[in-house]
Structure 1
Amino acid sequence: MTQKRLKLSWLLLGSLIASTGTSFIWPLTTVYMHDYLHQTLTLAGIVLFVESVLMIGGSYLGGYIYDHFNYRPWLLGSIGASLISMFLLIFFNGWPLYPLLLLVNGFGGAIANTIINALATTIKHHDAAYVFNMMYFAANCGVVLGTFIVGFVVKYNIRYVFVVTFILFVFFWLIAQRHYRVPRKVAVPEKTAATDPLLPKKTPVFAVWIVCGLLLAYLMIELGYSQWQSNLAVYMQSLGIGLNKYSYLWTINGIIIVIGQPLINYLELHFEINGYHKVYGGFLLFILGFGSLIFAKDYPHFILSMVIVTLGEVIAFPTIPALVASLSSEAEKGKYQGFVSISASLGHAIGPLLGGVVIEFASYEVLFEGLTFLIVIAGVLSMIITWFKKI
């Protein structure tokens, strides 16, 4: 019996549902722990740090599983772990079960996300750049939808947030169980794979160097991007800019992504755009966006910075996994997609903590200057590596 090929439409629907469900949880985490559970902001930050560390481990594990084992039971099991954690949170959402179940959800989600990204590389009837652009678009539609709806749901009862998230994860699990199937890879001893020309080889050394350069720059960008989700809110309030105006920046972020991503897809379908030129153009926009924060003292300047950063995000973020997919061998697709996820999670894990230390001992301006400098150095280094290593 011929196995059906994986359809992009089901990956996109799953990404939309999972992202919507996740977006019900993350905006409330710090507020819920502080205002509802009466824990300190420091403790909330520690929980988020531990979650990010577990997500790093989950990303690596997901890539290893995809490359070496039958991914399906692990994929369904990891989604199931998130599903069960949300179900338990409906009834047990106090301290300390709330953060413990949150960690289970984060770990399971990281495994599932990496496996799904690896599955996306198997879709050959679309260009890899198009596939990852569309998945990024679907995920961000979910973020916009989830963060918009959660504001209405939480007004009635915080428990309803977990109910809705649980229902969404049930649908996600059913989609994965029914449609996320690709032919099983046969595990081959490494020695055999190295000598048999018909079997997939390891990723070439030159490609590994290019991937390392790209992911180093990606890590530096995520260090900066995490400041928008943490320390920027405090900074803006210190300048007399209200929290509601800070939240509007994320509305602007979502609108630009939802409008900009289809435009990028249209241009790529009708014009030949070099992926490396695209990603380095995105890096340049991030440098300009973070650099502009050095001088941002009023709300219009923060809007301008967010617009520039979001344009960089739209251009660079979907391109990075697509380039990594094109550089990695068939035998190591999961491994390198895992490294992409690890770079993002690592930036989110240490970014807020690093930013807090710099702010405490120096200033916000020094933080923005340092981040801009790091992105410049990493971006230039990545370009140099690509220039010398790419054939």
Structure 2
Amino acid sequence: MHWLLLGSLICSTGGSLLWPLTTIYMHDYLHQSLTVAGTVLFFNSITLIIGSWLGGYIYDHGKVRFFLILSVLMQAASVFLLIFFHDWPCFAFLLILDNFGNGISSTIVSSLATGIKEKDPRYVFNMIYFMQNVGVVAGTMLVGYVIEISINMIFIVNFAMYAVFLLIVWLFYFVPQHVLAKHASQKKGVSDKTPKKAAIVIFAALALYFAIDVGYSQWQSNLSVYMGQLGIPVKNYSLLWTINGIIIVLIQPLINRFDESFQTKLTHKIYLGIVLFAFGFSSLIFAKSYPYFVLSMAIVTLGEVLTFPTFPAFVSSLSSFSEKGKYQGLVTAFPALGRAVGPVLGGIIIDNFSYAALFTFTSAFVIIVGSILIGCVEINLDGNGEIKK
């Protein structure tokens, strides 16, 4: 498990140098419109979705280690080429290639995490999420200073991180024996399917994850431009993500301890997250100065801490053994779809209405889909989160 966590830390640190600047880089450095930037983010997410599905299929059917190494190698090669070719449209193409590899590798790694039998799945995913956000803190703290040296340095450091991760994968990431046994049994035609009631709840949860990321993607795209229009500098925008990571790093261990002491129900954490996301998104209507954005980010981050590591654990608890990879792939794909649709949809709403209309829509969307999930849980699961007979 410690190599899994170290890999998550390294990947997150490298990625956090790049993704907060993607929209700004295309808009301010490459002089592309917000529509073009949103379209690139859309195709980024689509390739991530395809990669996630493929990663899940690979995990359920074999040759896991070979394709994991190949996908990480693809990511490392993409970022290496960005060092030399980061003009338009090479930047967009290589970014999309990187995301395709990321979809495969992140799904396989998440699926491997479900195979750790020594720890409760919620603890495993909480710790992975914790380490990812330690990386977010480190990466977003560095990005404002690294970019002042040169934009090229962002790509160099990112490549170095991927190279280290590739070495860790090569040396330490192996498929558990019980998963290899599953592949052998599947070749003989032996397989178990996820019950229909469980699948209904899973897809309702994934729909909520999608709705949340439609709103959350605004922070990573359109909000950077909105804050710039209000006279807030890029360094302050980047600092918001540092604040986001710090809150997660401080709060996540407390939630882990609370979970261990009181065995918190996964559904209750998701329900509270719905309230926090709805409130956080709607609070942006009144954000006109930097402290208001900090407050909104803090509220949204609390919702993130409760729900983002809970979704994969919740889905894992309901999915059958032979379909772990499939559903972990969907856990990666659905929020990616939200990040694909979000920037484009946000741009359309802003262009035709206003930023306030965008924030109202994202809040209402989360409330509606969250209500559907609650209904599905009540109909199909009992008080212990087990499938009703």
Tell me the TM-score normalized by structure 2. 0.92
Match of 2:15 in 1: 22
Q: 1:251 to 1:75 in 2, by over 3 A?
A: same
SS at match of 1:186: helix
Correspondence list, 1:1-391, <5 A = 8-181=1-174, 182-183=176-177, 184=180, 185-188=182-185, 192-193=189-190, 200-390=191-381, 391=388
Q: CA deviation at 1:303?
A: 2.4
- 1:192 aligned partner, one-letter code: G
Q: Per the alignment, do residues 37 and 244 of structure 1 end up closer, same or farther by CA in structure 2, a change over 3 Å counting?
A: closer
1:48-88, CA deviations, whole angstroms, 9 ceiling, x for partnerless residues? 22111111111111111111122111000000001111222
Deviation digits for residues 59-118 of structure 1 (CA, Å, limit 9, x no counterpart): 111111111122111000000001111222223333332222221111101110000000
CA deviation vs aligned residue, 1:9-61 (integer Å, no higher than 9, x gap):
11000000111111222223233334444444433332222111111111111
- Contact 2:59/2:108 (8 A) holds in 1: yes
Indicate if the aligned counterparts of 1:286 and 1:312 stay in contact, CA closer than 8 A: yes
Find the residue that maps to 2:82 and give its secondary structure.
Answer: helix
- CA 1:156–1:306: 2 relative to 1, 3 Å: closer
Q: Which moved more, 1:347-356 or 1:142-151?
A: 142-151
Aligned residues of 1:68 and 1:187 also touching (Cα < 8 A): no
1:34, 1:190 → 2: CA distance? 50
Alpha carbons 1:224, 1:351 under 8 Å: kept: yes
Contact 1:132 1:321 in 2 (8 A): yes
Query: CA separation in 2, counterparts of 1:366 and 1:154?
Result: 33
Q: Say whether the 8 Å CA contact 2:285–2:356 is kept in structure 1.
A: yes
Taking the aligned partners of 1:41 and 1:380, their CA distance within structure 2 comes to 33
Q: CA RMSD in A?
A: 1.9
Change (3 A) 1:246 1:265: same
Where does residue 384 of structure 2 map in the other structure? none
Moved more, 332-341 or 161-170: 161-170
Q: 1:241 to 1:152 in 2, by over 3 A?
A: closer
Other structure's SS at 2:183 match: coil
Does 150-159 or 330-339 show the bigger shift? 150-159
AA at the equivalent of 1:186: H
> Higher mean Cα deviation, 24-33 or 56-65?
24-33
Measured in 2, the distance between the counterparts of 1:91 and 1:293 equals: 39
TM superposition shift of 1:154: 2.5
Corresponding position of 2:385: none
Q: In structure 1, how many angstroms separate the alpha carbons of the residues matched to 2:361 and 2:86?
A: 39
* Counterpart secondary structure, 1:192: coil
Work out the CA distance in 2 between the residues paired with 1:116 and 1:38: 36
Amino acid at match of 2:243: I
Q: Distance in 2 between matches of 1:97 and 1:242?
A: 27
Post-superposition offset of 1:129: 0.4
The 1:114–1:388 alpha-carbon spacing in structure 2 relative to 1, beyond 3 Å, is same
Separation of aligned partners in 1, 2:294 and 2:152: 34
Hey, what's the Cα distance between the residues in 2 that align with 1:244 and 1:153?
A: 11
CA distance in 1, matches of 2:305, 2:149: 34
Shift in Å, 1:190: 8.4
Query: Following the alignment from structure 2 to structure 1, what is the Cα–Cα distance between the partners of residues 183 and 150?
Result: 49
Q: How far did 1:170 drift?
A: 1.3
Matched residue type, 2:373 = S
Secondary structure (helix, strand or coil) at the match of 1:324 reads helix
Q: TM-score under structure 1 normalisation?
A: 0.91
The alpha-carbon distance between structure 1 residues 234 and 106, as it changes in their structure 2 partners (threshold 3 A), is same
Residue matched to 1:5: none
Q: Name which of structure 1's ranges 55-64 and 288-297 shifts more when overlaid on structure 2.
A: 288-297
Return the offset for 1:130: 0.5
1:193-216 alpha-carbon deviations (Å, 9 max, x no partner): 2xxxxxx51111111011011111
3-state SS of the aligned residue for 2:116?
Answer: coil
Q: What count of residue pairs does the alignment treat as equivalent?
A: 378
Task: Give the conservation status (yes or no) of the 8 Å contact 2:140–2:241.
Answer: no
In 2: Cα distance, 1:35 partner to 1:243 partner: 11
> 1:209–1:178: structure 2 CA closer, same or farther, 3 Å change rule?
same
2:65 aligned counterpart, secondary structure: helix
Gaps of 5+ in 2: 382-387
**Residues 189/386 of structure 1: CA separation in 2 closer, same or farther (3 Å cut):** same
